[in-house]
Structure formats: structure tokens, C-alpha cells
Chains A and B, each alone.
Chain A
């Protein structure tokens, strides 16, 4: 049903039939190494979440979550990020089944635009908070908020830069095995950031808005 080189290997997007130089095992260990990195990243995020949880009441008389968070923009940002995960999935599918690199390139471009739109909205939110005097040095709550959400924003920025690099690599090298593996890694990274955002909108925004 799928044109993979080995029955054990099922990552979407990989079709190594034209590249016999790379064995399935090599590819698997490459991807597994990237999973190890993602999990160490998950540890960082988990601890930032823990710190945020303990700091939720530490507003020091400053602006609290209920005044500063807006449900509309948070919902829109969530929709944009979810859609970008879907469009990246489409990019993976067109890498696996597409005849040329054009479909992959276009889906990557759409994903890039959605990522940039998300970052723009987030920066707009931060600017509005700064204008109310909700700056990181105001209270423990705001410090932990900006570290946690800012960390995710930095990751999305890195992901957007990585998409641009991959688009250049597709143009320069074409779709060779190395480029394909890099795009699989980028896909894991992008979907992982979406998972982190699921926790952010639940723990940070929705929990804050409930109070």
C-alpha cells in the first residue's frame, strides 16, 4: 500500500526507493535521535509549565491573567497553529506521493505564512500587554508567563527559519534523501510545537480566563 523500502518503517513522507545508499536502519536512527532532542525540549517546557503553575497567584498586585488574556485572539492563534500542523501534514503527504517537489514547496509556503501569522498575532498581544504595564519585571506571574509563551514563540520562529532553509534546499539540491530526512525532522518539530501549544492554551489561557 505504501512505497517504503522496509516494512518496519512507516514515517509518512519517506520514500527511499530511489536512494539505495541510505538504509532504513540509518534513517530510523536519524529520526530517533531527533525524537531524543524533542523529548529533552519537552522537559524544558514541562518545568516552565510547573513554574507557571506555582506563579499563577503571584501577581504582586499587578495585572492578573483575567485582565490581560483575551479569549478571541487566543482562539484565533490556536486555530492558525492547528491549521499549520494540518498543512504541514499535507506537505508530508505530497512529499511521499507527489510527482514533483512543487506540491511540497507550496504546502511548506502555506505553513510558513501561517507560522508567521501566528507570530505576528502573538507579538501584537505582547505589545498590548506591555502598553497596560504588564511587563515581565512587574510580577512573578508575568515573568513566568513571558518566559513560557516567549519560549514557544522562539521555537516557532526557529521553525519558520527552518522552513525557509528547507525551501532553499529543495530549490538547490532537489528532493534527495538528505533533504527528505530533514523535512521529516522539521515535521516532527512543527507538530511537537503544536502539542506544546495545546498545553499552553489549556493551562495558561483557559485556566487564566476562568478566574
Chain B
């Protein structure tokens, strides 16, 4: 019953993230960091429990595709952020 476990942990992670923002538990920087950390954890839960990506041999090709896409995505996102923020700071 991976779906039950996935649903419960997804609900818990979502609830914590919204609660932190709603009740201003920590300072702004800390909250931002924790919320992004919780999101990353929740993405892993979704991939493991809902999309059935495991470290076993049966999902090896899917896992490799996923890791390669993650590399491409992080390169493009990081590049976009660096270039556009740099442009902004020079234009302002």
C-alpha cells in the first residue's frame, strides 16, 4: 500500500509547510529554506510512492532518465536565474 503511505506523508509535509507560513513560526529566511526543503522531500515522496521510481533494477532506466533530466533542468534554471538577475542588477 504505497499509495496510503504516500498520501499520508504528502499531507503531513504540506500541512507543516502551510502551518509555518500561516503562523509565522520562524524568521523569513528560515521559513523560505524550510518550505523549499519540505517541497523537495515531498517531491521525493511523490516519485517513490505515486510514480514508483525506486533504486531497484526494474526502474533503472526511468531513474537514469529522471536524474539526467534533473541535471538538465538545474543547469537551465541556474543559468536563467544568474543571467536574468545579473541583467536586472545592471539595469536598475
CB neighbours (8 Å) of A93 from chain B are 3
Instruction: Choose one: B36, B52, B57; the contact of A11 (CB below 8 Å).
Output: B52
Instruction: Choose one: B46, B54, B80; the contact of A194 (CB below 8 Å).
Output: B46
Task: Tell me the interface secondary structure of chain A in the complex.
Answer: helix
A156-211 residues with Cβ-Cβ distance < 8 A to B are 188, 191-192, 194-195, 198-199, 201-203, 206-207, 209-211
Report whether A85 and B7 are in contact in the complex, using a CB–CB cutoff of 8 Å: yes
Chain B residues with a Cβ closer than 8 Å to the other chain, count: 45
**Would A54 and B21 be within 8 Å (CB), given that A32-B65, A49-B77, A82-B14 are in contact?**
no
| Interface residues of A, Cβ cutoff 8 Å to B | 7-12, 28, 32, 35-36, 39, 42-43, 46-47, 49-51, 53-54, 71, 74-75, 78-79, 82-83, 85-86, 89-90, 92-93, 188, 191-192, 194-195, 198-199, 201-203, 206-207, 209-211
A sample of 15 more A-B contacts (CB under 8 A), given A85-B7, A89-B7, is A10-B59, A47-B76, A50-B80, A51-B84, A54-B80, A71-B18, A79-B14, A82-B7, A82-B10, A85-B10, A85-B46, A85-B50, A93-B3, A194-B50, A195-B46
